[in-house]
Protein backbone atom coordinates (compact mmCIF):
# COMPACT_ATOMS: atom_id res chain seq x y z
CA UNK A 1 0.00 0.00 0.00
CA UNK A 2 1.62 3.23 -1.20
CA UNK A 3 -0.83 5.51 0.58
CA UNK A 4 -2.55 6.55 -2.64
CA UNK A 5 -6.11 5.28 -2.84
CA UNK A 6 -8.44 5.09 -5.80
CA UNK A 7 -12.15 4.45 -5.97
CA UNK A 8 -13.84 2.53 -7.32
CA UNK A 9 -11.39 -0.26 -8.08
CA UNK A 10 -13.57 -1.58 -10.85
CA UNK A 11 -16.25 0.06 -12.95
CA UNK A 12 -18.37 -1.49 -15.65
CA UNK A 13 -20.47 0.89 -17.67
CA UNK A 14 -22.40 0.96 -20.89
CA UNK A 15 -21.23 2.94 -23.86
CA UNK A 16 -22.46 6.49 -23.71
CA UNK A 17 -22.63 6.71 -19.93
CA UNK A 18 -20.58 9.08 -17.82
CA UNK A 19 -18.19 7.81 -15.18
CA UNK A 20 -16.17 9.49 -12.46
CA UNK A 21 -13.14 8.18 -10.63
CA UNK A 22 -11.62 9.49 -7.44
CA UNK A 23 -8.01 9.59 -6.30
CA UNK A 24 -6.83 10.40 -2.78
CA UNK A 25 -3.09 11.14 -2.83
CA UNK A 26 -0.61 11.02 0.01
CA UNK A 27 -1.66 14.00 2.10
CA UNK A 28 1.55 16.03 2.00
CA UNK A 29 2.15 15.54 -1.71
CA UNK A 30 1.69 18.58 -3.91
CA UNK A 31 1.68 16.93 -7.32
CA UNK A 32 -0.99 14.57 -8.57
CA UNK A 33 -0.92 12.67 -11.87
CA UNK A 34 -3.34 10.63 -13.94
CA UNK A 35 -2.25 7.86 -16.29
CA UNK A 36 -4.06 5.34 -18.44
CA UNK A 37 -2.84 1.82 -19.06
CA UNK A 38 -4.14 -0.65 -21.60
CA UNK A 39 -3.40 -4.34 -21.63
CA UNK A 40 0.22 -5.16 -22.43
CA UNK A 41 1.33 -1.54 -22.48
CA UNK A 42 2.97 0.72 -19.97
CA UNK A 43 1.02 3.59 -18.41
CA UNK A 44 0.47 6.70 -20.55
CA UNK A 45 0.47 10.17 -19.04
CA UNK A 46 -2.86 12.01 -19.14
CA UNK A 47 -2.61 15.09 -16.94
CA UNK A 48 -1.15 16.44 -13.73
CA UNK A 49 -1.75 19.01 -11.03
CA UNK A 50 0.37 21.19 -8.80
CA UNK A 51 -1.91 21.65 -5.82
CA UNK A 52 -5.24 22.67 -7.40
CA UNK A 53 -3.78 23.94 -10.68
CA UNK A 54 -3.88 21.66 -13.69
CA UNK A 55 -0.47 22.14 -15.30
CA UNK A 56 -0.67 20.07 -18.44
CA UNK A 57 -2.95 17.77 -20.37
CA UNK A 58 -1.84 15.14 -22.83
CA UNK A 59 -3.33 15.12 -26.28
CA UNK A 60 -4.66 11.71 -25.26
CA UNK A 61 -7.10 13.57 -23.04
CA UNK A 62 -9.98 14.31 -25.39
CA UNK A 63 -12.74 16.81 -24.66
CA UNK A 64 -14.76 14.01 -23.10
CA UNK A 65 -12.24 13.80 -20.27
CA UNK A 66 -12.03 16.29 -17.45
CA UNK A 67 -9.98 16.25 -14.30
CA UNK A 68 -10.20 18.40 -11.23
CA UNK A 69 -8.37 18.74 -7.97
CA UNK A 70 -10.41 21.11 -5.82
CA UNK A 71 -8.59 22.49 -2.79
CA UNK A 72 -5.46 20.69 -3.86
CA UNK A 73 -6.36 17.44 -2.12
CA UNK A 74 -8.25 14.61 -3.81
CA UNK A 75 -8.79 14.55 -7.56
CA UNK A 76 -11.55 13.32 -9.83
CA UNK A 77 -11.35 12.15 -13.42
CA UNK A 78 -14.59 12.19 -15.35
CA UNK A 79 -15.22 10.58 -18.70
CA UNK A 80 -18.33 11.68 -20.53
CA UNK A 81 -20.11 9.61 -23.19
CA UNK A 82 -17.82 6.65 -22.67
CA UNK A 83 -16.63 4.64 -25.65
CA UNK A 84 -15.35 1.10 -25.79
CA UNK A 85 -11.87 2.46 -26.48
CA UNK A 86 -11.91 4.07 -23.04
CA UNK A 87 -11.67 0.63 -21.44
CA UNK A 88 -8.40 0.65 -19.54
CA UNK A 89 -6.82 0.90 -16.12
CA UNK A 90 -6.77 4.48 -14.87
CA UNK A 91 -3.90 5.11 -12.51
CA UNK A 92 -3.35 7.99 -10.16
CA UNK A 93 0.00 8.93 -8.67
CA UNK A 94 1.27 11.61 -6.35
CA UNK A 95 4.65 13.09 -5.53
CA UNK A 96 6.31 15.71 -3.40
CA UNK A 97 8.23 17.96 -5.72
CA UNK A 98 11.10 19.80 -4.24
CA UNK A 99 13.38 16.99 -3.18
CA UNK A 100 16.31 17.75 -5.42
CA UNK A 101 17.58 14.96 -7.55
CA UNK A 102 14.80 12.50 -7.02
CA UNK A 103 11.31 12.43 -8.41
CA UNK A 104 9.43 9.45 -7.12
CA UNK A 105 5.81 9.02 -7.98
CA UNK A 106 3.64 6.88 -5.73
CA UNK A 107 0.94 5.09 -7.65
CA UNK A 108 -2.44 3.96 -6.49
CA UNK A 109 -3.91 0.55 -7.34
CA UNK A 110 -5.88 1.93 -10.26
CA UNK A 111 -9.48 1.87 -11.39
CA UNK A 112 -10.25 -0.66 -14.07
CA UNK A 113 -12.90 0.61 -16.45
CA UNK A 114 -14.80 -1.70 -18.75
CA UNK A 115 -17.12 -0.14 -21.30
CA UNK A 116 -19.62 -2.56 -22.78
CA UNK B 1 12.25 12.83 -24.54
CA UNK B 2 14.88 10.09 -24.66
CA UNK B 3 13.69 6.81 -26.10
CA UNK B 4 14.55 3.65 -24.24
CA UNK B 5 14.98 0.11 -25.46
CA UNK B 6 14.84 -2.89 -23.16
CA UNK B 7 14.23 -6.61 -23.67
CA UNK B 8 10.62 -7.67 -23.86
CA UNK B 9 11.04 -10.57 -21.47
CA UNK B 10 13.54 -12.43 -19.32
CA UNK B 11 13.35 -15.71 -17.47
CA UNK B 12 15.23 -16.59 -14.32
CA UNK B 13 15.25 -18.98 -11.40
CA UNK B 14 14.97 -18.34 -7.71
CA UNK B 15 18.22 -17.27 -6.12
CA UNK B 16 19.79 -16.02 -9.33
CA UNK B 17 20.80 -12.47 -10.13
CA UNK B 18 18.80 -10.78 -12.86
CA UNK B 19 20.32 -8.00 -14.92
CA UNK B 20 18.14 -5.92 -17.23
CA UNK B 21 19.92 -3.59 -19.61
CA UNK B 22 18.21 -0.52 -21.01
CA UNK B 23 19.55 1.48 -23.94
CA UNK B 24 19.00 5.23 -24.07
CA UNK B 25 21.34 6.59 -26.71
CA UNK B 26 19.75 10.05 -26.80
CA UNK B 27 19.85 10.74 -23.09
CA UNK B 28 20.20 14.43 -22.29
CA UNK B 29 22.75 15.91 -19.91
CA UNK B 30 20.18 16.64 -17.22
CA UNK B 31 18.24 13.38 -17.50
CA UNK B 32 18.03 10.92 -14.65
CA UNK B 33 17.47 7.20 -15.16
CA UNK B 34 14.62 5.67 -13.20
CA UNK B 35 13.28 2.15 -12.89
CA UNK B 36 9.78 1.13 -11.85
CA UNK B 37 8.33 -2.28 -11.09
CA UNK B 38 4.75 -3.31 -11.71
CA UNK B 39 2.88 -6.36 -10.49
CA UNK B 40 -0.37 -7.45 -12.15
CA UNK B 41 -3.38 -5.37 -11.15
CA UNK B 42 -1.23 -2.87 -9.27
CA UNK B 43 0.24 0.51 -10.06
CA UNK B 44 3.96 0.83 -10.80
CA UNK B 45 6.34 1.11 -7.88
CA UNK B 46 9.55 3.14 -7.85
CA UNK B 47 12.64 0.95 -7.50
CA UNK B 48 15.72 3.08 -8.04
CA UNK B 49 17.01 6.22 -9.69
CA UNK B 50 20.46 7.33 -10.71
CA UNK B 51 22.43 9.83 -12.74
CA UNK B 52 25.84 8.19 -13.17
CA UNK B 53 28.08 5.39 -11.88
CA UNK B 54 26.38 3.07 -9.43
CA UNK B 55 23.45 3.39 -7.11
CA UNK B 56 22.40 0.72 -4.63
CA UNK B 57 19.45 0.44 -2.31
CA UNK B 58 17.83 -2.36 -0.36
CA UNK B 59 16.04 -3.66 -3.45
CA UNK B 60 18.38 -3.29 -6.42
CA UNK B 61 21.51 -1.80 -7.92
CA UNK B 62 21.72 0.47 -10.92
CA UNK B 63 24.87 0.57 -13.01
CA UNK B 64 25.41 3.48 -15.37
CA UNK B 65 28.51 3.64 -17.58
CA UNK B 66 30.37 6.87 -18.15
CA UNK B 67 28.69 7.63 -21.48
CA UNK B 68 25.25 7.10 -19.88
CA UNK B 69 23.88 5.64 -23.09
CA UNK B 70 22.70 2.56 -21.27
CA UNK B 71 22.00 1.37 -17.76
CA UNK B 72 21.61 -1.98 -16.07
CA UNK B 73 19.20 -2.80 -13.30
CA UNK B 74 20.49 -5.64 -11.14
CA UNK B 75 18.17 -7.64 -8.93
CA UNK B 76 20.16 -9.86 -6.56
CA UNK B 77 18.93 -13.32 -5.60
CA UNK B 78 15.46 -13.06 -7.05
CA UNK B 79 12.47 -14.85 -5.61
CA UNK B 80 9.14 -15.83 -7.11
CA UNK B 81 7.69 -12.56 -5.84
CA UNK B 82 10.02 -10.59 -8.10
CA UNK B 83 8.02 -11.74 -11.12
CA UNK B 84 6.83 -8.45 -12.57
CA UNK B 85 7.22 -5.94 -15.37
CA UNK B 86 10.21 -3.64 -15.03
CA UNK B 87 10.25 -0.26 -16.74
CA UNK B 88 13.27 1.88 -17.58
CA UNK B 89 12.47 5.61 -17.81
CA UNK B 90 14.66 8.46 -18.94
CA UNK B 91 13.83 12.11 -19.36
CA UNK B 92 10.86 13.98 -18.02
CA UNK B 93 10.43 13.01 -14.40
CA UNK B 94 7.00 14.57 -14.17
CA UNK B 95 5.17 13.22 -17.20
CA UNK B 96 6.51 9.70 -17.03
CA UNK B 97 6.79 7.86 -20.31
CA UNK B 98 6.61 4.12 -19.85
CA UNK B 99 7.40 1.78 -22.68
CA UNK B 100 6.24 -1.82 -22.73
CA UNK B 101 8.84 -2.75 -20.12
CA UNK B 102 10.58 -6.06 -19.48
CA UNK B 103 8.52 -8.93 -18.15
CA UNK B 104 10.68 -10.86 -15.72
CA UNK B 105 9.47 -14.34 -14.84
CA UNK B 106 11.12 -16.09 -11.93
CA UNK B 107 10.68 -19.84 -11.76
CA UNK B 108 11.19 -22.21 -8.84
On the question of pLDDT at A99 being above 60, the answer is: no
Instruction: Answer whether A33 touches B (CB < 8 Å).
Output: yes
Q: Considering only residues B48 and A72, tell me which one the structure prediction assigns the higher pLDDT.
A: B48
CA dist B107 and B11 (Å) reads 8
On the question of pLDDT at A100 being above 70, the answer is: no
Q: Which of A67, A103, A114 to mutate to test the interface with B (most CBs of B within 10 A)?
A: A103
CA dist B107 and B78 (Å) reads 10
CA dist B99 and B1 (Å) reads 12
Give the mean pLDDT of A80-84. 97
Instruction: Answer whether A58 touches B (CB < 8 Å).
Output: yes
DSSP letter assigned to residue A108: -
Q: In terms of CA atoms, which chain B residue is nearest residue A4? A: B43
pLDDT per position as a tens digit, B48-77: 999 999 999 999 999 999 999 999 999 999
Question: Minimal CA–CA distance to B3: which of A62, A42, A34, A33?
Answer: A42
Half-sphere exposure of A113 (CA within 13 A, CB side): 30
H or E, element range at B19? strand B18-23
Q: Which of A36, A37, A56, A105 to mutate to test the interface with B (most CBs of B within 10 A)?
A: A105
Instruction: Answer whether A45 touches B (CB < 8 Å).
Output: yes
CA dist B4 and B89 (Å) reads 7
CA dist list (Å): B27 to A14, A20, A63, A113, B47: 43, 38, 33, 35, 20
Predicted pLDDT of residue B2: 55
CA dist B81 and B94 (Å) reads 28
Give the distance from CA B45 to its chain's centroid: 11
Predicted pLDDT of residue A98: 66
Predicted pLDDT of residue B60: 96
Predicted pLDDT of residue A102: 59
Strands of A65-68's sheet in order across: A5-7, A19-24, A75-79, A65-68
**Inter-chain Cβ pairs, chain A and chain B, closer than 8 A:** 61
Contacts of B93 in chain A (CB under 8 A): 103
Predicted pLDDT of residue B68: 95
Across the interface, which of A56, A58, A109 has its CB nearest the CB of B43?
A109
CA dist list (Å): B26 to A55, B68, B70: 26, 9, 10
Q: Which regions in chain B score pLDDT beneath 50?
A: none
Across the interface, which of B46, B97, B101 has its CB nearest the CB of A105?
B46
Amino acid sequence: DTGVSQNPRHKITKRGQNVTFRCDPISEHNRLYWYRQTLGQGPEFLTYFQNEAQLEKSRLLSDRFSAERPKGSFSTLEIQRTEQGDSAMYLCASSLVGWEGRYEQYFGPGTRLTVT
Amino acid sequence: LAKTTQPISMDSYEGQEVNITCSHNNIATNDYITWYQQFPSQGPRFIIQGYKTKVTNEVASLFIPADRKSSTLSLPRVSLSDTAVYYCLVGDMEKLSFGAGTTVTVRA
